[in-house]
Structure 1
Amino acid sequence: MRVGITGHRGLGEQTEKLVKGALLQALDDLEPTELCLVSCIADGPDAWAAEAALDLGGRIEVVIPAAQYRDSLPTTHHATYDRLLAAAVEVHETGMVESTEHAHMAGSEILVGLVDRLYAVWDGQPARGYGGTADVVDYARSMGVPVTVLWPDGASRD
């Protein structure tokens, strides 16, 4: 079972705890030997889901939206990004250089094309910029990929 992850970045500590629990529960329902999580491994839900999949004995594949993607992430996340990238059994790239909204959406489109289901850490609100979580959810649904929204009670985006 290949599952993808998309979700809001910059979530607060309380929401982080709730989301990590929801991700672990969702992934724990899958057979570890068959679990392959596909992620862009950005800070937040992308990385949390990848870490949970590995902790449960699954595999991860990584989609890199752009050559400059890592540099666009917070420097505090670089070590986690590098560790998860090194753990990937396969890496997919868009071929784009600049880490723009269009590159991020292109990466998400590749991700959606690789998975049987998409987990979305999403508050149900419109995207705040092109390529945001809502856009990825809409794209997945338009491609017939089932979406499971994970937004635990008590979670907030701001």
Structure 2
Amino acid sequence: MKYLLCGFMGSGKSTLLEKFKIKSEGYKFYDLDDEILHLHGQDFETLGEFIEARGFDHFRRMETETLESFLGKDEPMVMALGGGAISGVNLSKIKQSEQAKLVFLDTPFEICFERISGDANRPLVKLGKEKLLELYQERLALYKCADIQIKTEMMETLTSPSQLEEC
């Protein structure tokens, strides 16, 4: 099974991914943003630099291409998706995959904003709180299409990918 963690920036996707690595249970672990940088942005130190140099449109194309590649792998995995990776196209591809389950980390905007404010590696933070709230609200409908929804409080109790099915 492939578990794809989605949610807004700062929702805890990368943190939960790192926590799951402790009890791997035969799963491979990936962060989609890290994979994009590794495969397509070797000339850049951070994903933020890559996006600023190449633009969001190029980044989104690479995101879709990289996600498709991982959906085609025949291995159990947990992957943290970027906050905007659940576009209509990507959501459709994920839903078509019988071996993938989308897991929404349902974290309130205020908590997300507190976690990401001041992070220079997140270009969208420059938009400001009001614009980020609009973006959060726009993406919420897509996130709620997930197969599994996990509230912030529940994330603290999870220690392995196998527990995701129990949520």
Q: Give the TM-score of the pair, scaled to structure 2.
A: 0.35
Higher relative contact order (Cα pairs below 8 Å, separated by 6+ residues): 2
Q: Name the larger-Rg structure.
A: 2
Larger helix share, 1 or 2: 2
